[in-house]
Structure 1
Amino acid sequence: GELEHRRVKRFYARTNKNRAVRQMTQLERRETYLMRTSGRARAKASKAGKTVATPNPQGHKRKLKNKSKAYIPFAESEALPYTTPDQHHHISPSRNFTFHLSSWLGEHRGDPAIQVN
């Protein structure tokens, strides 16, 4: 039904649109394999009385520690190479500090500093 349609749409977004059906099939098989593997690990751990970390089947990303902050504390920031004055920004090649702009804007919906006229 509708839930499977959403799942297919999620898989399609993860393809490069060339031979998309094949790529979506591979993604589905990978998800099934991970779910089976985690099920076996949980069953084995429950017999031994342990807990096991399992993959997240919904594909949700990790929650950010400082979710509402739009900056990185200086102690955690990385040193950037020299940038010439005519370049107005510098983009780091590192992906250590992710920032989900749409989530942040949703959390600060009533803030007059982010309103666009």
Structure 2
Amino acid sequence: GELEHRRVKRFYPKVNKSRFTAERQEQILFEMNRHYQRQLESDASGNTRQAPPLKGGSRESHHLQFDESEPLSYSDPKAHYHMSESNRNYINLPMWLGKNKGDPALEDFLPRLKDHVLTRLLGQAYDGDEQSFTSAECSNVIIFKDRIYCHKVLQVNYTTYDM
């Protein structure tokens, strides 16, 4: 971030001035490794320091780790988007909704999700507003194993003429 230059200056006296860049890189890797080891130790001992939960929400995030590979197969350049077909990273919908009960962003989430899915399955055009279906119609939408999936990579194809 903005304070990175202070961190770099802190390392400067500790390294060979003629090999500053290479030694700086080694210092960063050492520091990252030390931080990772401390994190593992604190997780093992149960002394995890966490920020207080958000109002009405949960601190649990659904970010995928950088070391998890999720390569994309070939995609047709004419397709609007392409996303991995992996089903490795998922969220159990009922559990997630239960953990985040009271979060205003998730108010009526499941009925709105089913409305959205039903609109797409019926091939109706999106006009800015979601269609509202009856509860009987929405009950026909079954979310397989109550899971929604997280994907690390999404490729969006678009044409731009601002060369």
Check whether TM > 0.5.
no
Q: Which has the higher strand share?
A: 2
The one of the two structures with greater contact order (alpha-carbon pairs below 8 A, sep at least 6) is: 2
Structure number with greater Rg is 2
TM-score for the superposition, normalised by structure 2: 0.23
